Structure 1
Amino acid sequence: MLERLNQAMEYIEDHLDTEIDMTEPARIAATSEYHFRRMFSALAGLPLGEYVRRRRLTLAGAEVLAGTETLLDIAVRYGYGSGEAFARAFRALHGVGPGEARRTGAALYSQPRMSFRLVVEGSSGMRYRIVEKDAFRLVGRKARVPLVHEGMNPAIVEFTQSLGKEELGRVAALSDQEPAGLVNAADDLAGRREEGSELDYYCAAVTGAGAPVPEGMDVLEVPAGAWAVFEASGAFPQAVQYLWRDVFTQWFPSNPYRSRPGPEISRTVISPDGAEAEAELWIPVERTAG
């Protein structure tokens, strides 16, 4: 798996000056594009699309400083349809426009090439089970929120607080199967997991496929399929954050499964003093070939 990931990264590096069809590096890594993007994001700490953008602008920055080609030629080579679009992206990464950088020889940002290497981990193990679930419903309240990669998501905090304890209790009472009680779910992520991409965030309960939906509540129909279920307990919020990280950086590379499209569901029970938590994470999965 590690060798295939690095071959996929080599392919991306060789095609930074062309339009990259991400199904090809996913094919090289012997997985789906969806899972390849999820794996990369978990391992690298940033979305694949953002990494490609930074690498292209890093190479473009070197060519801008070299001064041998026009700025428009450089812009077109790295996928920008106009000098204005290139200048905006260049400034967003480097903090200075390309023209000014060329005139002054300004210091620029450099995104290094990424490769993956083996680090011996996993001594603590992970608790998990595979559950085959019939079709079900997520019933509750939904908000469209931006994706935030680090720290608390203000939009989610505001949404949850706006519901109030009474409404959250009304939602939790609808639960009639596992994961039991009030759960959180993320679905329908727009774009390619870049910062600011929008997703549907649910405070919901899991119910049968034919269960009634109370007036004023939202519903997400979830088809039948396999789910990998992970459990963790410990200090809050570290135990929850580490669980998400370990699933994609340790469990997937070590097991014959890959993630598939579908809502990612979590259930967290926090101790009265807010110091400890028990977490359960449900990820839709499918077995890999071979």
Structure 2
Amino acid sequence: MNGIARVQQTIEYIEDHLTSELELAELAAVACYSAYHFHRLFQMLTGMTVMNYIRNRRLDRAACELIRTKDNILDIALEYGFGSHETFTRAFKRVFQTTPGAYRKQGKHVPIYPRVNLQELQAHSRGGIEMTPTILNKPEIKVLGYLVRTSLNDNQSQQDIQAFWQRYLQEGLGQTIPSKLHPDTELGIIVDNDCETGDFSYLIGYEVAEEPQLAEGSELTYRTVPAATYAVFTTPAVPAEQFSKSIQETWGAIFRDWFPTSGYEHAATPELELYDSRSSNPEAKQMDICIPIQKS
């Protein structure tokens, strides 16, 4: 069973247990993956974290129950894991733009978050990106740079990271980073992942030889990335205006097309983006995405 089928199996498991308490480790075990790999694979395949998917599916199922039955609203809320009428109403209104009571009076359920079918998503994926990585062992690296906190949910990270890069470049923040080991190679690093919420931090910076003494109040942030084995993917050479899109499409293809049949899992250490001289060619920009891996 490949990775797509294993995640789909977990989606079916979720459907059968929406009224039960569900935890990330339990769902990862259904897919026979580590919790971290399952978290990243699910998010990249569906566009949301698994816990956010569960919340959305519960709200959708609860909305259906409001129309299909005459059950008390509080009973429906409690059945689908909402601790109070107020909590349920707040979450319901955020998604359906109306209260549960008003929704019931409409007399018609319009699904907003249907069950995901990964086979259908795969059939409509465009592909077209070469997925033959180089496998490399990299030693521990020390990185100094600037950090932003963002989320995998609702594509927020794409917007936040793009805006952060724009600020970084416009304000010349890279020039304020001292003692660069490789001045021509900037790094984008994904750290501090929260598998439950989908929140993580993105660090833009350079490799340094040792941890610096930072002045109080400095925006600079230091991180150590442990030694790891990486699958290194190079993005297609594209004009500058297509570079950001090319990076996002390559990220998607790694998890959608390569990981499910690769025999590898994510090693749960930071992911690296590497921008060197190839990223400076306005006619044919490229960069490397380095994913830490281990055998499944």
TM-score, normalised via structure 2 length: 0.82
- Residue 94 of structure 1 contacts residue 108 of structure 1 at CA under 8 Å; is this kept in 2? no
Letter in 2 for 1:5: V
My pick for the range that moved more, 47-56 or 138-147, is: 138-147
- Residue 171 of structure 1 contacts residue 182 of structure 1 at CA under 8 Å; is this kept in 2? no
- Residue 49 of structure 1 contacts residue 192 of structure 1 at CA under 8 Å; is this kept in 2? yes
Matched positions, count: 280
Q: Residue 4 of structure 1: CA displacement? A: 2.6
Q: Match of 1:264?
A: 271
Q: Match of 1:230?
A: 233
1:277 aligns with 2:280: no
Letter in 1 for 2:264: Y
- C-alpha distance in 2 between matches for 1:15 and 1:56: 10
Residue by residue over 1:68-97, the C-alpha shift from the partner in whole angstroms, topping out at 9 and shown as x without a partner, is: 210010000100000010011111111211
Residues 172, 241 of structure 1: CA spacing in aligned structure 2 closer, same or farther, 3 A cutoff? farther
1:188 aligns with 2:192: yes
Q: Match of 1:35?
A: 37
Aligned residue for 1:137, secondary structure, equals strand
1:245 aligns with 2:248: no
Residue by residue over 1:123-148, the C-alpha shift from the partner in whole angstroms, topping out at 9 and shown as x without a partner, is: 75324112222222112222334556
Q: Residue 37 of structure 1: CA displacement? A: 1.7
Residues 28, 241 of structure 1: CA spacing in aligned structure 2 closer, same or farther, 3 A cutoff? same
- C-alpha distance in 1 between matches for 2:228 and 2:185: 21
Aligned residue for 2:20, secondary structure, equals coil
Residue by residue over 1:232-259, the C-alpha shift from the partner in whole angstroms, topping out at 9 and shown as x without a partner, is: 1223222211110111011101211111
- C-alpha distance in 2 between matches for 1:104 and 1:165: 52
Q: Match of 1:221?
A: 224
Q: Match of 1:202?
A: 203
Letter in 1 for 2:117: S
Residue by residue over 1:144-195, the C-alpha shift from the partner in whole angstroms, topping out at 9 and shown as x without a partner, is: 3455616852476257525756541353861349xx611111211335354x
Which one of 112, 115, 119 corresponds to residue 113 of structure 1? 115
My pick for the range that moved more, 29-38 or 185-194, is: 185-194
- C-alpha distance in 2 between matches for 1:82 and 1:219: 42
- C-alpha distance in 2 between matches for 1:251 and 1:52: 25
**Contiguous gaps of at least 5 residues in structure 1:** none
Aligned residue for 1:91, secondary structure, equals helix
CA RMSD of the aligned region, Å? 2.9
Q: Residue 29 of structure 1: CA displacement? A: 1.5
What aligned pairs does 1:72-111 form with structure 2 within 5 A after superposition? 72-105=74-107, 107-111=109-113
Aligned residue for 2:180, secondary structure, equals coil
- C-alpha distance in 1 between matches for 2:99 and 2:157: 30
- Residue 129 of structure 1 contacts residue 230 of structure 1 at CA under 8 Å; is this kept in 2? yes
Q: Residue 48 of structure 1: CA displacement? A: 1.6
Greater helix content: 2
Identity of aligned residues (%): 27
Aligned residue for 1:237, secondary structure, equals helix
Letter in 2 for 1:227: Y
Residues 223, 162 of structure 1: CA spacing in aligned structure 2 closer, same or farther, 3 A cutoff? closer
**Contiguous gaps of at least 5 residues in structure 2:** none
Aligned residue for 2:294, secondary structure, equals strand
Which one of 33, 48, 51 corresponds to residue 49 of structure 1? 51
Residues 190, 30 of structure 1: CA spacing in aligned structure 2 closer, same or farther, 3 A cutoff? closer
Aligned residue for 1:153, secondary structure, equals helix
TM-score, normalised via structure 1 length: 0.84
Letter in 2 for 1:192: E
Residues 218, 163 of structure 1: CA spacing in aligned structure 2 closer, same or farther, 3 A cutoff? farther
Residues 256, 241 of structure 1: CA spacing in aligned structure 2 closer, same or farther, 3 A cutoff? same
Residues 127, 7 of structure 1: CA spacing in aligned structure 2 closer, same or farther, 3 A cutoff? closer
Detail structure 1 runs of 4+ shifted over 6 Å in the superposition.
120-123
Residues 63, 165 of structure 1: CA spacing in aligned structure 2 closer, same or farther, 3 A cutoff? closer
- C-alpha distance in 2 between matches for 1:24 and 1:152: 29
Residues 164, 93 of structure 1: CA spacing in aligned structure 2 closer, same or farther, 3 A cutoff? closer
- C-alpha distance in 2 between matches for 1:89 and 1:13: 19
Residues 172, 47 of structure 1: CA spacing in aligned structure 2 closer, same or farther, 3 A cutoff? farther
- C-alpha distance in 2 between matches for 1:121 and 1:159: 27
